[in-house]
Amino acid sequence: MAPAWAAQLACVFLGVGVAVSLRAVTNLFAPGVAPYAFIYPASLLATLLGGWQAGAGTVLVAGLLAWMFVVPHAVLAGAQMHYQAAAALIAFFTAGMLIAVAEGFRSAARRLAGERNAKLQERELLFRELQHRVGNDFAIVNSLLDLQRRRSASSETRSALQHAMGRIQSISRIHRQIYALPETRHVDLRQYLRDLCAGLRDATLPPAGIALTCNCEQAYMSRDLALALGLAMNELVTNAAKHAFPDGREGSISVAFAHAAKGWQLIVADDGIGMPAAPSKTGLGTMLVEQFVRQAGGTLAIMREPGTRAIIDLPPTAASGSSD
């Protein structure tokens, strides 16, 4: 990083360059007129960029150049020298007041920027503390459900509580991943979905027998939509791992996110036993997926083929190819 004096000197050269350029253009049709007129914008520019030192340096250098090269043209045109000296004093005094005003504005802007940054840091700290507390709440709820599961005598009740614990753990994992990201306007979906798949491999899939692949295009989505989409994907993969491969059957689950003809598309597919053609009732998992898809602004279609394919269609505005 350049020292402060070097930056101020560069601002002086910039200000003087502006004044000399404007004077050169003016001299083409009005030589010697208003010798110090261009000191004001030059000193204002230098002060705003480099501080009052740069503004003062610009006034001194530009004023000296005007006295040496512009004033003689004015004298030749009939202007008296004592008037030119008085004009120089007035110009320097006026430029000094302009520098003082510009420096005051610059100081006020720095103070406001510092206060804003302090508030942003405080808000970020409170936000992180809130997310930490939410994570602790997930852990407490999960512990209470586990305690109730252990004390229950009904196998059906224990199974229902176990499924509830699994969903809470999934939501906690997704919540932790998405809010651990840097504070940006959008979430990198490729990295986000890959992280979710890695977490599902470790927490949901058996050590061997079921493979999970993730293939996602580079895209960005708002936090709220990404959270809903991640929850839907998590539920689909979890359901496939639990129901598509009974009795230790081997197979694979794939997750793909890509740009489609009418927007964006997330596909979760497996090569398991498939769903029944006409299920007797809609399970809780399916209802959760439908709710998450609605929150993301998309539509859900289930295709029953060799295995099961869940297709989530999202509008073009749901994601973008850049983070802007």
Contact 318, 219 (CB under 8 A): no
Asked whether residue 197 falls in the same domain as residue 296, the answer is yes
In a domain, 133, yes or no: no
Q: How far apart are CA 42 and CA 100, in angstroms?
A: 14
Query: Tens-digit pLDDT profile for the chain (324 aa)?
Result: 567 888 888 989 999 999 889 888 888 887 778 888 899 999 999 999 999 999 999 999 988 888 888 777 665 555 567 777 888 888 889 999 999 999 999 999 999 999 999 998 888 788 778 777 887 888 888 888 888 888 888 888 887 787 777 777 767 777 776 676 655 567 888 888 888 888 788 767 776 788 999 999 988 888 888 888 988 988 898 888 888 888 778 889 999 999 888 889 999 999 888 766 555 455 667 788 889 899 888 999 988 877 889 999 999 988 887 665
Q: Which of 73, 92, 116 is the last residue of a domain?
A: 116
How many domains are there within the chain?
2
Asked whether residue 312 falls in the same domain as residue 191, the answer is yes
Task: State the first-to-last Cα distance of the chain, in angstroms, to the nearest integer.
Answer: 28
CB atoms within 10 A of CB 250: 12
165 Cβ contact list (under 8 Å, min separation 6): 142, 145, 146, 149
Domain that holds residue 69: 4-116
Q: Which of 116, 134, 162 is the last residue of a domain?
A: 116
Q: How far apart are CA 228 and CA 235, in angstroms?
A: 11
Angle between helices 81-151 and 155-179 (to 10 degrees): 170
Asked whether residue 105 falls in the same domain as residue 201, the answer is no
Q: How far apart are CA 107 and CA 245, in angstroms?
A: 68
Please count the residues of the chain: 324
In a domain, 161, yes or no: no
pTM: 0.58
